[in-house]
């Protein structure tokens, strides 16, 4: 069915777009990294996430193809080979998608069940929490503070109802200030929501290694950006990281991908410290130069995605032409004496521009049969009103031409504007297999220098 090809193309094009942008971000983005603009680079990384989810390239190609601005109507048309390939791809994709999605939902469900009965903080902890919220311009009540003995390490969880979880063990006021600065910056940046988007991307594009690389990069960068924003309110980089190292040694190596926590292990802390020092030591460039770098990045992204999209479209059209002989089939013949007709495919440019509409007489609405009798003038393409046909069905058309020695073209106009036809004189018959659901029209074209009379019958199988 044609929707399989549309859906497969949408997934592949979106995956290609996101991968190209990720490579460009990683390559050119280092320029911004070296000059210390962490948050700009982090925002651009979020834009890459968006392009992994929204099919911008597919929408543009589909619109251009629909209105014959690109591909001459061949793009996203199907042959038997393309249809079988799309069906196989979707089956395999769906299995992988459901497997990755179920695994992540299972992990998130376990975390939610484990921490659902924690209780809200009060007293000194709540007082410090409110002070840090005020310092970071976070509206009161937007985030809640919880604690419990089952919480082994501080972390933040929740998208709509954000919560910061603390261990019930003793934590000094200075340590608590650093913890809350870190976790509340995560809340302010909506890092949990963005991290969940990377999980969805990995489920949709599980076959693409760049999607998994994106998830790994984003997990690192949400911590880099958080450290960069939190170290100031927490008392400076030295105090901030020394406190995190102390807390990590106390709480040990704890990791759960469903939430955001201070640190997983010493290796991660060292990487974050090194990155913070590198960015802090970077020489700040003027805003004008930063804008030039960003504009260059965007321009290169547009050009690269455009070239990749065109390459995909041209490859699809080539595949269509190389495999469309599967629909070139002979007319069903009742005996060997009957003439064999070959089905051809062409665009509107190859047919007469003088188009007239002929009526169809429905013979039997239940069996989808009908007849038509047309007088087709010289240089005229006579077409019927629309007939809706489902992909996978077929329509058999049989016409008689008078004078019997004059050849005509008889066939179908597809929803995408392609003309599928057979040609001959006297009597023409063909069974057209339908690969794309939509509105079709029966047509007869006459280029004989004189009018012809056409009597025909059709039946939808």
| pLDDT computed for residue 443 by the predictor | 95
| pLDDT computed for residue 151 by the predictor | 85
Does 348 fall in a domain? yes
Does 374 fall in a domain? yes
Angle at the Cα of 405 (from 403 to 411), degrees rounded to 5? 85
- Per the rule left: phi > 0, alpha: psi between -120 and 50, beta: everything else, 417 is left
Taking the C-alpha atoms of residue 5 and residue 77, their distance in angstroms, rounded to an integer, is 8
pLDDT in tens, 282-318: 555 566 766 777 787 788 888 888 888 888 888 888 8
Q: Are strands 438-446 and 355-358 parallel, antiparallel or unpaired?
A: unpaired
How many domains are contained in the chain?
Answer: 1
| pLDDT computed for residue 35 by the predictor | 62
CB 135 within 8 A of CB 233: yes
Burial (Cβ within 10 Å: 0-12, 13-18, ≥19) of residue 200: middle
Does 277 fall in a domain? no
| Residue ranges making up the domain that contains 426 | 344-460
Taking the C-alpha atoms of residue 175 and residue 234, their distance in angstroms, rounded to an integer, is 9
Does 405 fall in a domain? yes
Give the list of residues 6+ apart from residue 372 with CB closer than 8 angstroms, or none.
Answer: 358, 359, 360, 361, 384, 442, 454, 455, 456, 457, 458
Does 41 fall in a domain? no
| pLDDT computed for residue 366 by the predictor | 45
Does 312 fall in a domain? no
Q: What is the pTM of this model?
A: 0.69
The CATH number of whichever domain residue 418 belongs to comes to 2.60.120.380
pLDDT in tens, 235-255: 888 888 888 888 877 776 554
Q: Which residues of the chain have a pLDDT value below 70?
A: 1-2, 30-37, 68, 71-73, 252-266, 279-287, 289-290, 324-340, 362-367
* Cα atoms in the Cβ-side hemisphere of radius 13 Å centred on 131: 14
| pLDDT computed for residue 14 by the predictor | 93
Does 7 fall in a domain? no
State how far the alpha carbon of 141 is from the alpha carbons of 48, 134, 182, 427, in Å: 32, 11, 18, 80
Does 259 fall in a domain? no
- The torsion defined by the Cα of 180, 281, 268 and 125, in degrees rounded to 10, comes to -10
Taking the C-alpha atoms of residue 154 and residue 177, their distance in angstroms, rounded to an integer, is 12
| pLDDT computed for residue 44 by the predictor | 87
């Amino acid at each position: 069915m044609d929707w399989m090809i549309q859906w497969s193309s949408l997934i592949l094009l979106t995956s290609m777009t996101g991968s190209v942008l990720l490579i460009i971000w990683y390559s050119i983005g280092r320029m911004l990294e070296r000059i210390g603009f962490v948050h700009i680079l982090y925002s651009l990384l979020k834009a890459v996430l968006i392009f992994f989810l929204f099919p911008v390239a597919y929408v543009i190609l589909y619109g251009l193809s629909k209105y014959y601005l690109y591909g001459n109507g061949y793009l996203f048309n199907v042959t038997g080979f393309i249809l079988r390939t799309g069906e196989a791809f979707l089956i395999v994709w769906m299995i992988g998608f459901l497997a990755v999605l179920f695994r992540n939902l299972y992990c998130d469900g376990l975390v939610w069940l484990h921490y659902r009965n924690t209780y809200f903080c009060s007293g000194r902890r709540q007082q410090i929490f409110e002070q840090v919220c005020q310092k970071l311009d976070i509206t009161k009540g937007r985030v809640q503070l919880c604690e419990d003995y089952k919480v082994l390490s501080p972390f933040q969880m929740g998208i709509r109802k954000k919560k910061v979880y603390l261990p019930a063990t003793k934590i000094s006021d200075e340590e608590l200030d650093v913890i809350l600065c870190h976790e509340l910056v995560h809340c302010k940046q909506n890092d949990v929501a963005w991290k969940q988007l990377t999980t969805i991307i990995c489920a949709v594009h599980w076959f693409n290694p760049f999607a998994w690389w994106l998830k790994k990069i984003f997990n690192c960068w949400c911590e880099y950006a958080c450290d960069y924003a939190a170290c100031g309110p927490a008392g400076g980089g030295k105090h901030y990281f020394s406190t995190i190292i102390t807390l990590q040694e106390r709480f040990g190596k704890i990791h759960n991908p469903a939430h955001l926590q201070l640190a997983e292990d010493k290796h991660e802390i060292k990487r974050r410290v090194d990155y913070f020092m590198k960015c802090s030591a970077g020489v700040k460039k003027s805003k004008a130069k930063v804008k030039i770098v960003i504009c260059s990045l965007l321009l290169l992204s547009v050009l690269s995605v455009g070239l990749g999209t065109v390459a995909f479209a041209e490859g699809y059209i080539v595949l269509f032409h190389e495999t469309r002989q599967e629909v070139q089939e002979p007319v069903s013949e009742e005996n060997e004496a009957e003439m064999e007709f070959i089905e051809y495919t062409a665009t509107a440019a190859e047919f007469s521009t003088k188009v007239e509409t002929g009526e169809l007489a429905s013979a039997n609405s239940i069996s989808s049969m009908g007849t038509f009798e047309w007088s087709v003038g010289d240089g005229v393409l006579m077409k019927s009103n629309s007939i809706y046909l489902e992909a996978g069905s077929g329509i058999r058309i049989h016409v008689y031409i008078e004078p019997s020695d004059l050849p005509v073209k008889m066939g179908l106009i597809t929803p995408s504007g392609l003309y599928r036809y057979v040609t001959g004189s006297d009597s023409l018959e063909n069974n057209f297999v339908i690969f794309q659901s939509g509105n079709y029209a029966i047509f007869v074209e006459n280029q004989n220098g004189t009018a012809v009379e056409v009597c025909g019958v059709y039946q939808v199988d």
